[in-house]
Amino acid sequence: NFCEIWGFHTIAPHTDMSLKYTNTKVDEKVALVPTILQCITCDVRCMTYSMSFFGWDQIGGLRVNSNNTIPSLVAASGTVLGEILVWGAVSDETKGDRFNSNVKVEKGLNETAQKWVSSIVGTEAGAGRTFESSKMRVGPSHRLKGHLGSIYSLKFWKNGIYIASGSDDRSVRLWKLTALENRDRENTNLQNDIKDKGDFIIDSQSFHSYTLIWTGWGHTARVWDIAFASSPSNADPRCDSLPILISAGEDSTARLWSPLTSEKEITYPLRGHRCESVWSVDACEGIIITGGNEGCVKLWDLKSRVRTFRTRTAFDNLKSSMVNLPVPKDKLVQSDSTPTPNQEKEFYSHTFDKYVHQTDSKSSTKIKKKIAQKKKNNSKGQIICGIEFFSDRNGEMANKLLIATRAGGCFSLNLLLQSWEIHNNWDQFVFSFDDAKIMDLDPSTGSCIGVHPSGERVLVGTTVGWIVIASLSKNGDTQKFAFSCPSYRPAQSISWIDCVNFLVFYACGAVIWWQLDSAARLSAPKVLHIMTLGTSGIPLCHAFDSARNNMFIGDSRGNIAFFNLNRALASGDSQDTARNPDKILSRVHDKEHVTGITILVKSGVVLSVGNDGCMHQSRLDHGDLRKLIRIPIPNVTGLRHVWNVRQPNGDESAVIGGYYGNDFVVFDSILGYEFLRISTGGRQRRQDLFFGFANNSRKNSFLYGAAVVVGHKDGSNSINFHFSHQFNDDISDFGCIWQKQDINEFYSIGHSVHSERVNDACWVDCGQSTYLLTGSNDCLVKLSKFENDQFICVAELPPHESCVRGVCSSCHKDSSVSLLVTCGGKLSMEFYLLDHQTTEMSDHCTASINSNVSFLCSYRTLAKSTIDHRMNIVRAIPLLPADSRCHLCLAGDSDGLLHIVVISELGNSRGTTIGNLFSDSGRPVLCIDLLRCYDRILAFVGTTSGDISVWNFPGTVAVKDGNCGLNCLKGVMPHRPIFVFKAHHAGVNDLSVGSSPMSSTPMNFCIYICSVSDDQTISICTLYISVYSSQLCLKRSCLTVLQCASDSPLNSIKLVLDQSTFHQIYVSGHDEQISLFKLVTIEDGQPQIKFVSSSPLGTDGSCLACFHFTKQGMPSRLIAAVGGEGVEILSLDFDIIHAAKVLTEANYLLITAGAGFSADSGLITYEDMPVEYRDFCDPSSLIDEPVKFQQFWIEFSRTYLYTTPHRGYNILDEWCKRTISSLRSNIESLDCPAYL
């Protein structure tokens, strides 16, 4: 529970060392030397988890008082016991105690700083300096108690009057410095005293104390960090005194509070990090910045987040984003006619016909009575049958809302004026095209509406199959027409495609495409297509590709039907003929409603969302719709909408709308940015939503409106209209919507890889594109695209039930697809296909909406497995011949069993596969590597016992009738390993295998088995193999062990055999370093291991993957990906590695240099020398002009003396120290010491 005060001074000469605490800009070439000045310890000994300071300028640096003394510094520390200690880290030494002049202050920072300055004034940089720092113990001035757990964050605010704290008791608290009772004499001067000096807080414990004034509950886990932010409005001066408090917690959210005005959160939590914890939060100039443990920084716009908060004392200038508008009452229409018995029977037939034929007359009577009673109850209130936003501005953004009722009412709401317009009843004086007469239509049969794109008319669908066309124009047109398609009812929904074409969805499982005759206004619409789904579901949504004339329809049973309408026209069938879909994807959304479909134009991917909370991707492949991948969407319980949004760079992405409880949320599926969150009160309410992006330079500005119907006890209805901020300013100019610095475009800094430890990684080469496949303890598998030396996009595969322990890939030579394999908990393996050709075509498409990854099948064991049973590692290798498109996969589990599976790229209809089990040693398998040797595959298996076993599996397959499995392997399956050796005294954490031919005979080769373990050793077993009659024969083996290869346990190893330079071994471990070793091979001799170099890492190196990256016009280099707490990418240039190898092995080092060697230090060369330089190089000028001669060379020498040499001098110096001998040249400009 202490703090240290440090001072910094420069090492540049001729620096003013006087005591000045100012904001001087230090030259980048000038180094800063730190010195500890004072250590202040609080008397209360306790483990401190957080600390905050007040008194010094947090941004501009240290400011001095008028009397040239250091101002006071107050420290607040949060302890593990839930107590906050406020104490003086630096006190004002000029006055002693404010209220007790007899108390003497110990030697303070001001005196210490003077001694420190005196110790360095007049001395050369880094020479002869002696200084002794001071120590000080102080007692706490205030002790704040109230938290029930450890305090992880503290912040001062408002000149130290307020202290905010966050704890692991899930609360956020605010404390205020107030005057004690009977001490009001000090309360009046509280603001002025603290504004001038922080020492008032330290000295005023007898008159003032911090009091808990507010507690915020909302986080469901620990609160890690808090921050204060100023009010987002400057219009009201009262807002400056009302802070916004932001907290970040372990529940992966950041929350906003107004502690002085509200006990609850002022807006919905900020959810965007896909990780367990949001560790840090800060705010600056209206921008909230949050950092999560997945390695990403998210930016949020504060003003748009608090727009819904409004009180009487503050934020009056912010308009509310929700208004409640009562729906007008239905007009009472007198009618002499009543429904005929046939009409009433027709109305009720769709409800109880299925019961009439299955029950007796008595039960039928009961059903009729119940329906009649329900009708009677409903007649007391207003029932809305349809609600939809529309525009009367020729296709611009919606500016009106239309509502139709089951009493025939039709009302439109002007969103700008928030006023209602009452139209003629849609059910009165309707002309029937079918019967050519005015029909008596029951308005209680209304079920749905669809507004024309021009806003001039509306279609109203009924449960009896009639579709009514009603006018909404103000030109006096009151005509209404009705049409129907016999035997198709009831109408479920209506959707317009363009101004003349529309779709009607029927509950009987059909969708009819109708077309209006634009020339003849009084003619009946004609049927273009009748599309029947052929499933038990009800059609709910659609997507139409006008370029290819393809229709995709989703139903209520999780199915997606595909219709190629060009084939229907080419077949010559009648337009009234119902046609079945060309393809049905069954149970895409697990028997849940498919609620939204859209098409990505560039990649051709069909995206669908449903009530199962997942986004499904499918694609047309040569006219056949096939499934790709199904991705669960976090933080939602049901999805309702999906929009295809084009990014500023031309990429396409999906914006998804769904429910989180009763809240409707719209967010970007790639970045996780939450555009809006509104409370609907329940997903079963009638509601509609429009949402759009700007169409000008502000690519990511957005506008939204949502209307939710609220029913009241008296039978009336009202509309809760939610709208974006400044909606009323100018709805037609979408780009004028306020958006702070296009915050959405810069919302995410960095790419999220994983929020927990990365267990395995592998590179996937797709020709021009390269991907990194990673698996982590967060149950996720991600495919990251590596381009221009960085990851530019990330694709997420479906998560596992438990942690992902192993990932791998396999690809046939010159193949267009790669097999991706993942494994993890419950002994599961998942197989995917990565399409190279699609990858090349969609290099600039966003990988999160990828068209190149498709699900192949899953592996499940026949025996029941638990969450503790897991696959620890998996590796795959292609089988011969290549046209078989088969791969062999081998996985090891925690029970010591090997699972072998043969996978075909063609997949199977079941979607699952099985394999065989082999027992190794009974100890858990930790690592596996596979190596092809002619027509056999050697598997190398490392276990927790430190043993490595070698298995011999068949490497060719014979496909029978298109089926591929273990029974198709050519050769005998092994029953036991062919070779076992003891590699380590602890478990084998990782191994890597390579083969090299022997020069003596072509049929002989060596296999190098490299492994690492917790025993800090590198083990290399060399197997000498000969081939006789297609049989592998082990001639002999030898074991090489490098002891103490690291100071800590080693986790991963990778062997790279390179004949052009040297054989390389890369290892990483808990010492957070990656080390390079050289493998020296000797013909018929034991190999040797030599250390080459090492580089520090920011992770423990739990996995390691290497890849030779070749770019056109550039030399080949090796890219190493090291996984742990994140992924680090290292680039290794072989030219540099080779040069380092030569330098390391050199006996002599000859260095030559010219005048240009000093140019990188900033010195001028001959070409830039002044004219006087050549004149004064002549010694005779010393006689002719002695004064000018001496002045010139003095200044010239001083320039060389005071110029800091560049790093090259130090590098050469280090090289010379490491070499045995060196020869020194007398060439100018090289000032490097010689070693003989």
Within 10 Å of residue 364's Cβ, how many Cβ atoms?
A: 15
pLDDT-derived band at 1224 (thresholds 50, 70, 90) equals very low
φ/ψ (deg, to 5) at 352: -125, 10
* Residues 309 and 789: beta-carbon distance below 8 Å: no
Q: What is the mean pLDDT of residues 1164-1192?
A: 83
Q: Is 160 exposed, middle or buried (0-12, 13-18, 19+ CB in 10 A)?
A: buried
What is the pLDDT at residue 1054?
95
Mean of the per-residue pLDDT values of the chain: 78
Q: In angstroms, what CA-CA distances link 1189 with 261, 339, 805, 1166, 1174?
A: 78, 120, 76, 18, 11
CA atoms within 13 A on the CB side of 572: 0
Q: For residue 420, what is the enclosing H or E element?
A: strand 419-423
What is the pLDDT at residue 155?
93
Q: Is 545 exposed, middle or buried (0-12, 13-18, 19+ CB in 10 A)?
A: middle
Write out the two tokens for 561: 């039907």
Q: Cis peptide before 490, with omega less than 30 degrees from 0?
A: yes
- Candidate from 78-82, 131-135, 261-265, 759-763 with smallest mean pLDDT: 131-135
Q: Is 69 exposed, middle or buried (0-12, 13-18, 19+ CB in 10 A)?
A: middle
- Candidate from 16-30, 199-213, 566-580, 964-978 with smallest mean pLDDT: 16-30
pLDDT tens for each residue of 359-391:
344 445 554 555 555 444 445 688 999 999 888
Q: In angstroms, what CA-CA distances link 1204 with 25, 269, 1209?
A: 18, 53, 10
- Residue 1087 pLDDT > 50, yes or no? yes
Q: Which amino acid is at 988?
A: V
Write out the two tokens for 1028: 């006789």
CA atoms within 13 A on the CB side of 950: 25
What is the pLDDT at residue 68?
59
pLDDT-derived band at 522 (thresholds 50, 70, 90) equals low
Q: In angstroms, what CA-CA distances link 973 with 135, 533, 877, 925, 970?
A: 75, 48, 17, 20, 9
pLDDT-derived band at 743 (thresholds 50, 70, 90) equals very low
This prediction has a pTM of 0.74
d(CA 1133, CA 90): 52
Q: Output the CA torsion 212→215→219→224 (10° steps).
A: -20
d(CA 565, CA 435): 31
Q: Output the CA torsion 1045→1047→1051→1056 (10° steps).
A: -30
- Residue 249 pLDDT > 80, yes or no? yes
What is the pLDDT at residue 1146?
77
Q: What is residue 269's three-state secondary structure? A: coil
Write out the two tokens for 481: 């027409």
What is the pLDDT at residue 200?
67
What is the pLDDT at residue 48?
87
pLDDT tens for each residue of 870-912:
999 999 999 998 888 899 999 999 999 999 999 998 877 778 8
Q: What is residue 305's three-state secondary structure? A: helix
